[in-house]
């Protein structure tokens, strides 16, 4: 049984608390949040101790690992402290909005790869993971084109947008990681942004839609299509294409029921509304992979370096939108992801 | 080029006129209908001569074949006259409502199998024909269960019901033939009727829904589910099941468009409304098979005997509904259908 | 927190243990099995005490409820003892193979409806439950036709068949309950059996395929199609049809991935293999409904009477297969189910 | 009846011959091809006169209209001669590979819009046309994102590539027109090319895959994904996305049959192999629209100007691939397409 402390009891923190509570190899020892009420609510729901002092978790030798689900600006400090206290760490994305701070963190901590796992949960989605495994096994031949359609159901509040780092670092970062999961290192980024959804987002200086084209080191091309709003729910699809065929993951439905009536046929229920519903199995599988990684002691995937690499792509996409030109991505990544 | 005369210019007659006109191996020489207006309308549309005297077609040595699309009570007389005049005949179902008259006709005409094809168009539906071919080729192993769902979009007028011979002889007869197409000879019929759709049909002494279970000579079991009304359009589906798997033919849609909106996802357009839309390719393929049969001179499938056999099953189903008991089907058929 | 004891640690017992362990309102206090190893395995997996003496659970005042997952012949004795000891009971189907024993049990226990819930888990399948709710809400108008396709992936061992009570009491009983869930009381049963799958089953005097037609008290007709074997996995589908349209629940897939290659398109993964995969959410929802029923004290659905009624239909189907005639179902049920 | 002459009896010429022959408002008077055998084969198949002298058609006052299906370099000369001879013209895409020649042609001929229709047949595909009509009717609100996936089944011969004008002018040109059909005038093109399919194409200096991002005058963004090869057949899909939802057109299948077996479920047949199968209804509807345009005398859509505009986008895409930068599209189009 891995004893886990949870840092942050907001929406995503509760998702992790649930994953920990339902995993037979994990025990949710203690939860932290600066707001006592938030910590108490999660503690009571899952039978864990609570604290508003992060040292009660990081300093507790009985706790083996921490899950960092606090606001982005706190990630690096908490991550550094936890690793230095000997904990294994599962940290939510992004590591930080500033690549320089990320690099400074990497320099301070030896062997990050062995101690920090990044929370790119979508790698653990059963459908995306299945496609990745089949591509890796050669079912398509070498991957040639990857298409990721990723639309949120509704734009976030303006206040959130202001501190989010922008669409690419906040939302597309998942898709950048997914592209790297399939393509390996990315060498070229071409991005187009648009403001068609929310005047508040435009006023905050951010875009609310994008198309990003990435070229991987082996020549494969990934296309990411984003929007901050989709009337029909969370739009999360992926297609991998190669010489031998195509693998597609469609959106998912809560039931298999369809209705046929006088004006239409085969009306399915709405898609899952958002990530809490759609990616519950992915979050649980992510935690399970984290526990396995801790037990095996062989490092994590996705790693801290994967977190940095996705951030670098987000930065390149911002530059491409600004300049209207393709941006070459500098140098090799800190460590290479598993390339199909 | 096969020169063809059309007997009957009603709804189904116009379907055949279209099949003849678009077939490069056929020429629509002349069309007959007792109502001059009906004949003229079809003649003008397809560039054919018209007549209100059936002998202008049956007695014309320049006409090679006739398609009989007139009311059921006229079928046997026209069929007999046409065969005796040396024509090949494609006759709409049912041959007649009375098996005794059908048998008398068969006794009068030698070699019916070589000269008369029955208009069970659904055997030529590309999807059903594909399943039949794959079952015949052994893709499922021996056929074990067949499920036919067959629902009309709306009940016919009460006047039509009165002379239709009842649900089994009028509507289910297509499904009886489809069952025989897959099962070969049927040895046992168990039928259940219901009156849930139309008070007029009940008043006319007929049923408007049914479930019929047929056992074939090799033990396979077919289930037919009928209704005289389906809000969502023409419901025409078939599933074949055997040791190695299942083949399914779904309803068909006029486009591949789906809509996803705020309250639902993947809303497809309505199904084809009725047989004129759904079975156009089947009617065309049927005529083509008829022409091939005439040219090859090797007989037709489905044959006159297939028409009789379906009628016998309809009669058995009527008896089963009346008695609440399974009915054994007498003796071997006149000639056996091709059995998968 | 409801403290629950589990009686029986076989395959279905482990399913219930998992449902109890993951339900935040339940605590798995103790598990019983006459085989110590079986009890220990489940106890260790879910952190529960174990016993080979059933009285350690039924006689324990700290245990509020029991789940009976032992072999069918033990159901009535355990159920009676548990109810008399003041426990709420969730009992697996069937209650017993003998209606007379079931009736004797009912006479002995007052207020069965308030204390015993029957384990017809499929009522809690999210898709079937959704259709039931929409039919009850009138989306189809009055229900006219119900089609249930229910095929197991592979036949059970011959030894199991010998004591199973036959296809109708062992396998179809779930479908009989589903028919009653939608139709209310059933007044008429017409059944056809076949032996196409397993010579061992035929040797044991049982059938391995069936088509059953049921007429409900309001005239609606249900068709059940069964087979003991389906090459492609567990085949569990349902269609409800009425004046305003149709609701369909399709088989379910573990991922949304499809593959398109040179010889075919849109190849989906296999269906769920069997009930452990397909109905996990249903078993969890069933337990949740049981807990709610205990807490509310307002009785259970499905009830003991529902268990009896399904058994009566199985018996009628056996008779119909034997006699080749429709069987009228006697009298009103002990208590009526909720009818849409 | 419109009397039509066909110029060019190659693969696409035969498609037009079939459309003309099956259209009740058209008569295929004469077909031209410099190769007598090609002309004869088409003439015999469709009962038309033949010639190897183009003036036999263009100079024949009895012929009302011509369809130009000859090699691209001949288009402008034939089109000019035909219009000057008073014929209505349906001309295959592209008009020419050189925009300057296209402009010179436009200057020479007055009122091109009224006399020349461009053969962008996909506008008439029933599914794409249905989506366009529904977008135009406001079902999505203002269009925000359009995704076009367009992959050929197999790369063309190297000899064809050499004279094709390159991927964008030869293949993507259909997609550029489709983008303009939905977005109206395009103001910005960003293109990425790749060579992953065919070494011969690379040796010929062309690309065999591309992702093109287009921004329309109203801000909507279209993404086109191309490949010269798809193992699973002709990949032709389109998605329109707006505030109120999404409309999708999927690939199409020749039957509705699926097979479920031991290793997979729901295996559909292959997609249509190529445009001859997939777009037959579109070609027929295109010809019908052409005839209607001739009869109404109100001009054609898509027009000569639409043909030029698609060519300009192809040119801009070539430049974007070469420079790695977004290319602004000059000025207003000659005449504006119908904008949804």
- Residues of chain A with C-beta less than 8 angstroms from the C-beta of B251: 265
> What is B19-81 written as a DSSP string?
HHHT-TTEEEEEEE-SSHHHHHHHHHHHT-EEES-THHHHT-TT--EEEE-S-GGGHHHHHHH
Contact A305, A160 (CB under 8 A): no
Q: What is the pLDDT of residue C340?
A: 37
Q: What is the pLDDT of residue A40?
A: 96
Q: What is the pLDDT of residue B338?
A: 36
Nearest-angstrom CA–CA distance, C298 and C292 = 9
The four Cα atoms A12, A17, A23, A24 give a dihedral, to 10 degrees, of 170
Nearest by CB to A126, which of C126, C245, C254?
C254
Q: What is the pLDDT of residue A336?
A: 43
Q: What is the pLDDT of residue C331?
A: 64
Give the Cβ contact number of residue D239 at 10 Å. 21
CATH 3.40.50.300: does it fit domain D2-119?
no
**Can you tell me the mean pLDDT for C23-43?**
93
Contact B4, B20 (CB under 8 A): yes
- Residues of chain A with C-beta less than 8 angstroms from the C-beta of D326: 192, 324-325
Inspect the interface and report whether the beta carbons of D255 and B127 lie closer than 8 Å. Answer: yes
For residue A199, give every residue at least 6 positions away whose Cβ sits within 8 Å of its Cβ, in sequence order, or none. none
**Can you tell me the mean pLDDT for B178-197?**
97
E-only strand ranges, chain C: 2-7, 26-32, 49-51, 65-68, 88-91, 116-118, 143-151, 186-194, 209-216, 221-227, 235-242, 245-249, 257-260, 327-328
Q: Which residues of chain A have pLDDT under 70?
A: 113, 331-340
Nearest by CB to C264, which of D251, D260, D268?
D268
Token pair recorded at residue A292: 């396995």
E-only strand ranges, chain A: 2-7, 26-32, 49-51, 65-68, 88-91, 116-118, 143-151, 186-194, 209-216, 221-227, 235-242, 245-249, 257-260, 327-328
Q: What is the pLDDT of residue C332?
A: 53
Q: Is the pLDDT confidence value at C12 over 80? A: yes
Inspect the interface and report whether the beta carbons of B257 and D245 lie closer than 8 Å. Answer: no
What's the pLDDT band for C333 if we cut at 50, 70, 90?
very low
Nearest-Cα residue of chain D relative to residue C154: D262
Inspect the interface and report whether the beta carbons of A264 and B263 lie closer than 8 Å. Answer: no
Nearest by CB to C268, which of D264, D270, D271?
D264
Q: Is the pLDDT confidence value at B316 over 50? A: yes
Nearest by CB to B269, which of A261, A264, A270?
A264
Using alpha carbons, select from B309, B137, B142 the residue that is nearest to residue B221: B142
In sign, the C-alpha dihedral spanning C12, C16, C17, C18 is positive
Find tokens 């190897």 and name the residue. Answer: D52
Q: What is the pLDDT of residue C230?
A: 94
Å between B318 CA and nearest CA of chain D: 32
Report how many helices (DSSP H) and strands (DSSP E) chain A contains, helices first. 14, 14
Inter-chain CB pairs, A–B, below 8 Å? 52
Q: What is the pLDDT of residue D262?
A: 85
A162 vs B143, which has greater pLDDT?
B143
Inspect the interface and report whether the beta carbons of D248 and B260 lie closer than 8 Å. Answer: yes
Q: Express as a percent the part of chain B with pLDDT over 90.
A: 77
Inspect the interface and report whether the beta carbons of A130 and C269 lie closer than 8 Å. Answer: yes
Chain D: list its partners (3+ Cβ pairs within 8 Å): A, B, C
Using alpha carbons, select from A121, A161, A119 the residue that is nearest to residue A8: A119
DSSP state of C259: E
For residue D110, give every residue at least 6 positions away whose Cβ sits within 8 Å of its Cβ, in sequence order, or none. none
- Residues of chain A with C-beta less than 8 angstroms from the C-beta of D196: 142, 144, 219-220
Nearest by CB to B241, which of C144, C220, C227?
C227
Å between A241 CA and nearest CA of chain C: 9
The H or E element that residue D240 is part of is strand D235-242
What's the pLDDT band for C279 if we cut at 50, 70, 90?
confident
Nearest by CB to B232, which of A265, A269, A270?
A265
Give the Cβ contact number of residue A221 at 10 Å. 27
Give the Cβ contact number of residue C271 at 10 Å. 24
Nearest-angstrom CA–CA distance, B160 and D99 = 65
Chain B: list its partners (3+ Cβ pairs within 8 Å): A, C, D
* Least confident piece of the model among A125-134, B251-260, C30-39, C134-143: B251-260
* Mean of the per-residue pLDDT values of chain B: 92
Q: What's the CATH class of domain D123-328?
A: alpha beta
Q: What is the pLDDT of residue B336?
A: 43
Nearest-angstrom CA–CA distance, C186 and C337 = 11
Å between D126 CA and nearest CA of chain A: 17
**Can you tell me the mean pLDDT for C289-305?**
91
Q: State the number of CA atoms in the 13 A half-sphere of B204 facing the CB.
A: 21
| pLDDT tens per residue across span C301-315 | 999 999 999 999 999
Nearest by CB to A256, which of C24, C139, C250?
C250
Q: What is the pLDDT of residue C261?
A: 87
Q: What is the pLDDT of residue B127?
A: 93
Identical fold, C2-119 and C123-328: no
Q: Express as a percent the part of chain C with pLDDT over 70.
A: 97
SS3 (DSSP) at D28: strand
Q: Mutating which of B255, B260, B262, B280 best tests the D interface, going by the most D Cβ atoms within 10 A?
A: B255
Q: Is the pLDDT confidence value at B273 over 80? A: no
Q: What is the pLDDT of residue B12?
A: 93
Nearest-angstrom CA–CA distance, D88 and C198 = 71
Q: Express as a percent the part of chain C with pLDDT over 90.
A: 77
Using alpha carbons, select from C107, C92, D139 the residue that is nearest to residue B259: D139
Q: What is the pLDDT of residue A240?
A: 98
Q: What is the pLDDT of residue D335?
A: 47
Token pair recorded at residue B222: 């077919």
Please tell me whether the peptide bond between D224 and the residue prior to it is cis, using omega within 30 degrees of 0: no
Strands C245-249 and C235-242: antiparallel
| pLDDT tens per residue across span A267-282 | 877 777 777 778 888 9
Please tell me the total number of residues recorded for chain D in this structure. 340
What tens-digit pLDDT sequence spans chain D (340 residues)? 899 999 999 999 999 998 998 787 888 999 999 999 999 999 988 889 999 999 999 999 999 999 999 999 999 999 999 999 999 999 999 999 999 999 999 998 877 768 999 999 999 999 999 999 999 999 999 999 999 999 999 999 988 998 999 999 999 999 999 999 999 999 999 999 999 999 999 999 999 999 999 999 999 999 999 999 999 889 999 999 999 999 999 988 888 888 988 887 778 777 777 777 788 889 999 999 999 999 988 889 999 999 999 999 999 999 999 999 999 998 654 444 433 3
Inspect the interface and report whether the beta carbons of C257 and A139 lie closer than 8 Å. Answer: no
Using alpha carbons, select from A226, A247, A251, A227 the residue that is nearest to residue A237: A251
Nearest-angstrom CA–CA distance, A279 and A47 = 23
Inter-chain CB pairs, B–D, below 8 Å? 69
Nearest-Cα residue of chain A relative to residue D196: A144
* Mean of the per-residue pLDDT values of chain C: 92
Token pair recorded at residue B18: 């279209």
- Residues of chain B with C-beta less than 8 angstroms from the C-beta of D250: 256, 258
- Residues of chain D with C-beta less than 8 angstroms from the C-beta of A208: none
Q: Which residues make beta-bridge pairs with A259?
A: A267, C247
Inspect the interface and report whether the beta carbons of D257 and B244 lie closer than 8 Å. Answer: no
For chain A, the domains span 2-119, 123-328
């Amino acid at each position: 049984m891995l004893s886990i402390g949870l840092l942050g009891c907001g929406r995503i923190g509760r998702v992790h608390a649930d994953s920990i509570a339902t995993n037979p190899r994990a025990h949710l020892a203690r939860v932290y949040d600066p707001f006592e009420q938030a910590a108490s609510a999660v503690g009571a729901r899952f039978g864990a101790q609570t604290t508003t002092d992060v040292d009660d978790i990081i300093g507790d030798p009985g706790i083996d690992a921490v899950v960092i689900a606090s606001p982005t600006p706190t990630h690096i400090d908490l991550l550094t402290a936890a690793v230095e206290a000997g904990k294994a760490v599962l940290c939510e994305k992004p590591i930080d909005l500033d690549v320089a701070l990320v690099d400074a963190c990497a320099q301070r901590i030896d062997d990050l790869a062995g101690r920090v796992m990044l929370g790119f949960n979508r790698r653990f989605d059963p459908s995306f993971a299945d496609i990745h495994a089949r591509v890796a096994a050669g079912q398509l031949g070498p991957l040639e084109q990857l298409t990721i359609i990723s639309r949120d159901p509704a734009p976030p509040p303006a206040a959130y947008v202001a501190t989010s780092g922008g669409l690419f670092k906040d939302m597309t970062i998942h898709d950048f990681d997914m592209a790297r999961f399939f393509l390996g290192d990315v060498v070229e980024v071409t991005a187009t942004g648009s403001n068609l959804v929310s005047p508040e987002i435009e006023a905050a200086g951010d875009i609310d839609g994008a198309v990003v084209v990435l070229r991987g080191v082996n020549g494969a091309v990934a296309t990411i299509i984003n929007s901050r709003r989709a009337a029909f729910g969370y739009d999360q699809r992926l297609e991998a294409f190669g010489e031998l065929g195509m693998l597609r993951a469609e959106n998912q439905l809560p039931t298999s029921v369809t209705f046929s009536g006088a004006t239409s046929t085969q009306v399915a229920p709405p898609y899952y509304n958002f990530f809490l519903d759609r990616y519950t199995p992915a979050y649980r599988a992510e935690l399970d992979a984290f526990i396995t990684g801790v037990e095996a002691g062989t490092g994590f995937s996705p790693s801290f370096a994967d977190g940095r690499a996705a951030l670098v792509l987000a930065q390149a996409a911002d530059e491409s939108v600004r300049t209207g030109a393709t941006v070459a991505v500098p140098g090799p990544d800190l460590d290479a992801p598993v390339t199909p």
